[in-house]
Amino acid sequence: MRSAWQFVVQVFSWVLLGAVVSGALALIVLPKLNDARPLTVLSGSMIPTFDPGDVVVVREADADHLQVGDVITFQPVSDDPRLTTHRVDEVRYGVDGVTYVTKGDNNDAVDLEPITPEQVRGEVWYVVPFVGYVSVWMAGGLLGSLVNLIAVGLLLYGGGFLVAGLLERRRRPEVVL
Active site residues: 43
SS3 annotation, 106-143: CCCCCCCCCECHHHEEEEEEEEECCHHHHHHHHHCHHH
Rounded to 10 degrees, the C-alpha dihedral 52/57/61/63 comes to 20
Residue 147 exposure: Cα atoms within 13 Å on the Cβ side:
11
